[in-house]
Chain A
Amino acid sequence: MMKTFPTKLLLAAGLLVLLGVPEAWAQVRDTNLYWAPEAVTVTGQRIDVLLNFIFYLTGAVFVLTQAVYIYYLVKYRKRPGSKAYYSHGNNKLEIIWTAIPTAIFIGLVIYSNRLWGEIHSTPPENSVKVDVVSYQFGWDMRYPGADGKLGKIDVNSYSVDNKFGLLPDDPAGDDDFSSTELVIPVGHPVHLYLHSRDVIHSVYVPAFRLYQAAVPGRTIAWVWFETIKTGNFQLACSQICGSGHYNMKAPIRVVSQEDFDKWQAGKIAAKAEEAKAAAAARENRQSTAALDPAADPARNLAEKKL
């Protein structure tokens, strides 16, 4: 009585799959096996080699074990007169199937940790340095000015006026410029310094094969990579960070070295202008009556929140 019923159900499910999956498949990107975005960093491509290796390894294990399993289930199904074989196991087999996975895992962990070490090796001296500051719910980027040096910061002195926590006595910070997008030159190493002003966020760029949490009160200084392709990407926060988490993103532009130099020069010039204007304004303000900071409620509130 039970024979027809799973068959029918399987047919119905098969139909559902046949109708549904190609529909989704057709609309979804046509890049590769897993629908993963193309890896556009040097390390990203090396991670993909490892990912593929694990995929084929686990895929083979899955297909083999399941084929054997299903074969057993069909072959040893209960039939009239069939009798099970009385056995409590086999120690030789136990040793074999302990030793083989152990050997595979040892190999895999050596491979993995070597690549892990390479990915986190010391960043090259000539890297473009970027201070990436995360906050609820966005990103601020800071690039060094003409001196090529990022000004020193204190991770506990973020404020409305000092959104990068710059130390006033370090002149290297005076010409640093900020950006709301991450612009990086293709084929050039980029070294990120990750910070957070409030809670834990994370830098996640799937096409870079990159994930790293930014922890408040700390500098994470080991993230660096080199892109191999220009294009537009998105920097996403992938660590739940509050009610605006779902939309905490920033544009990433990977551009040619020329375009990057042009953009950088423009930013440095604008910063110099800005500094001049600020100095003028400061003089102006000193000549007029000093403003009571308490008179600005919006600013007070914002400072309290920080």
Chain B
Amino acid sequence: MSTSATTFIPDQGSTDHGHAPHGPQGFFFTYIWSVDHKMIGLQYLWTSFFFLLLGGLLAMGIRFQLAYPGSEVPLIGALLPSTVASDGIILPGGYNMLFTMHATVMVFLVVMPLLIGGFGNFLIPLKIGAGDMAFPTLNAMSYWLYVLSGIIILASFFVDGGAASSGWTAYAPLSSTAAYNNNTQIGQSLWCIGLFVNGLSSIAGATNYITTIVNMRAPGMTMFRLPLSVWSLFITSWLLILAVPVLSAAAAMLFTDLNFGTTFFNAQKGQPLLWQHLFWFFGHPEVYIMILPAMGLVSEILPVFARKPIFGYKAMVWAMVAIGFLGFIVWGHHMFVSGMNLTLGAMFSVSTMVIAVPSAIKTFNWMGTVWRGSISFTTPMLFALAFVSMFVIGGLSGIFMASTPVDLFVHNSYFIVAHIHYVLFGGSLFGAFAAIYFWYPKMFGRMMNETLGKVHFFATFIFFNLTFFPMHNLGLGGMMRRIADPTLYDHLRALQPLNIFVSWAAFGMGLATFIFLYNFIWSLRHGKKAGNNPWDATTLEWTVPSPPGHGNFEKTPTVYNGPYEYSVPGMAKDFLPQDEKAPDGARLAAH
């Protein structure tokens, strides 16, 4: 990657990007305050890896406590902050910090920055034929705001009282009145500030993406020639712009409740349920913010390795648009049993069932894509294929909670924990892994090792299912979320062997991540040279060198075709790049 800024001579005549070409720059401007969208994308990637390890470690802590409550944490027990553990034994309040911060880190510092920050930045300009983002400096600022939010959230572990411990959903008044929650006032306040800053980063990024996609597409790149990954990021950006400010406002209100005596969420003078409405008005679109980009990236990978156009391109686009709209009117399904009006709950149940339809459409179209294909099972393809299956499980288990009476039974149980991890890990993270293996050659000019990649895939796939599938049973067996010691309950004691089993599977999954990290780092130097287009793919990023130089395209490309012209009849090669005119005799069909 050290070659990116130095060896490539950008196009002098391109007018797509406003800044003049420049020669070699110092370390600081290349790697730290870079305004090149590719470097910013990689910065997001590396930073989110760091937080992935941290969030994973917190998960291991949770699983250790649930398997062996009251035992000393091996190896790192002595290193844990005194608010989390005493003598290496996790405290109940410390356990609350672990799951609160696990979710906060994974949602705001891993999945969003990895999928949206990392791949959004790296891919959007390359895929639409632009030299960079519309606002490169804003782009850099958005990355550094993300880093700042991470530091603020990390720091909260070490302040007086410890980190926030009211769950990542931070239900008031537990979160808004420090006296109710072990005086974690500073930690909870830092949580508010962290999310506020993180929100600024998201809003800035989303503004940039929308402007770039609307204004900077290469000639011929109509909206319906955009790759689905770009469509998904476009729709995600709209969701960010509309949903994140609500969270920021709610976090600000929570902050003033905590510190300045306001009573927005106070039971006597305010309304505790107001927090839940604000939080979930953000929180449900947030679920789609995290899954849509993964859907887009997977939709990009399946056609390449099936050597077939994506099935139902327009249906895929409209399904994502529908998810985007409907995502804003389903938040109340988190609140069926919260004390919200019962009839309102019934209405939210209707909208929730409706939003399952576009998800079903997408699944059928993915299956249609592999139908009659010529499928090669590379590592990115394996992760993409697994994504579809895991998303099906996560989607189907969602129907249980969408049904109001069944929610009376499974609400806030481990059934929910199973569900969200099938969508968020089996969905978003499997999609992210697929994308990393797929675009790594474009990012670094070298291939990742396939053997290690397959070990990583099978280990992750198997341990993932062994970890999260039994959680459905734990939930139906009556195991609540967020309790530090299940053995205290009569009806859960019998389930303890299953908890231990789940924990060991989780440890296996944690270890599998190191295979991935080793492969990632090893391949930087030792991977096979990739060339411009190692996968014989059609989209524009594969027409430029790997890694692409500053400015991306020597000459602004002109686009003639849709993004998925594979196995076109009447052609010698089995793919037609977007910037190549169809040869005589090629029988293209409209999509």
The complex places the Cα of A293 from the Cα of B388 at a distance, in Å, of: 67
Contacts of A82 in B (CB 8 A): 374
Contact A89:B313 (CB < 8 A) given known A61-B396, A98-B357, A236-B489: yes
| Distance in Å: Cβ of B264 to nearest Cβ of chain A | 13
Please tell me if the beta carbons of A54 and B399 are within 8 angstroms of each other in the complex: yes
Q: Does A263 contact B (CB under 8 A)?
A: no
Contacts of A98 in B (CB 8 A): 357, 360-361
Contact A106:B399 (CB < 8 A) given known A50-B405, A215-B267, A247-B485: no
- Choose among B308, B353, B408 the residue that contacts A86 (Cβ–Cβ < 8 A): B308
Q: Does A238 contact B (CB under 8 A)?
A: yes
Q: Does B337 contact A (CB under 8 A)?
A: yes
Interface size class of A (residues with CB under 8 A): 35 or more
Q: Does B268 contact A (CB under 8 A)?
A: yes
B320-373 with Cβ < 8 A to chain A: 337-339, 342, 345-346, 349-350, 353-354, 356-357, 360-361, 363-365, 367-368, 370-373
Q: Does A186 contact B (CB under 8 A)?
A: no
The stretch among A31-39, A162-170, A174-182, A274-282 that forms the contact with chain B is: A31-39
| Distance in Å: Cβ of B188 to nearest Cβ of chain A | 12
Please tell me if the beta carbons of A217 and B268 are within 8 angstroms of each other in the complex: yes
Please tell me if the beta carbons of B482 and A245 are within 8 angstroms of each other in the complex: yes
The complex places the Cα of A262 from the Cα of B409 at a distance, in Å, of: 32
Chain A 52-93 interface mask (CB, 8 Å, partner B; 1/0): 001101100110011011001100111100111111111001
Please tell me if the beta carbons of B494 and A76 are within 8 angstroms of each other in the complex: no
- Choose among B180, B405, B413, B497 the residue that contacts A198 (Cβ–Cβ < 8 A): B180
Residue among A13, A37, A244 with most chain B CB within 10 A: A13
Please tell me if the beta carbons of B450 and A78 are within 8 angstroms of each other in the complex: no
| Distance in Å: Cβ of A19 to nearest Cβ of chain B | 10
The complex places the Cα of A247 from the Cα of B346 at a distance, in Å, of: 32
Contact A244:B92 (CB < 8 A) given known A69-B367, A239-B171: yes
Please tell me if the beta carbons of A37 and B491 are within 8 angstroms of each other in the complex: yes
Contacts of A57 in B (CB 8 A): 399
Please tell me if the beta carbons of A78 and B489 are within 8 angstroms of each other in the complex: no
Please tell me if the beta carbons of B173 and A200 are within 8 angstroms of each other in the complex: yes
Chain B 390-414 interface mask (CB, 8 Å, partner A; 1/0): 0011001101101111111101110
Contact A246:B484 (CB < 8 A) given known A61-B396, A112-B349, A112-B406: yes
Chain A residues in the interface with B (C-beta under 8 A): 1-2, 5-6, 9-10, 13, 16-17, 20-21, 23-24, 27-29, 34-37, 43-44, 46-47, 50-51, 54-55, 57-58, 61-62, 65-66, 68-69, 72-73, 76-79, 82-90, 93-94, 97-98, 101-102, 105-106, 108-109, 111-113, 115-117, 119-120, 136, 156, 196, 198-200, 202, 204, 206-207, 209-218, 220, 222, 232-234, 236-247, 249, 305
The 7 closest A-B pairs by CB, nearest first: A206-B478, A217-B267, A216-B267, A243-B93, A89-B312, A85-B372, A88-B591
Known: A5-B455, A101-B357, A105-B353. 10 other contacts (CB 8 A): A23-B497, A35-B477, A85-B372, A89-B312, A89-B315, A98-B360, A117-B346, A198-B180, A210-B409, A246-B95
Q: Could you write out 10 A-B pairs with CB less than 8 Å apart?
A: A21-B501, A27-B497, A65-B363, A84-B306, A89-B310, A102-B354, A109-B403, A199-B173, A202-B337, A211-B407
Chain B residues in the interface with A (C-beta under 8 A): 91-93, 95-96, 165-167, 171-174, 177, 179-182, 267-268, 272-273, 306-315, 337-339, 342, 345-346, 349-350, 353-354, 356-357, 360-361, 363-365, 367-368, 370-377, 385, 388-389, 392-393, 396-397, 399-400, 402-409, 411-413, 450-451, 454-455, 458-459, 462, 466, 470, 472-473, 476-478, 480-485, 488-491, 494-495, 497-498, 500-501, 504, 564, 566-569, 574, 587, 589-591
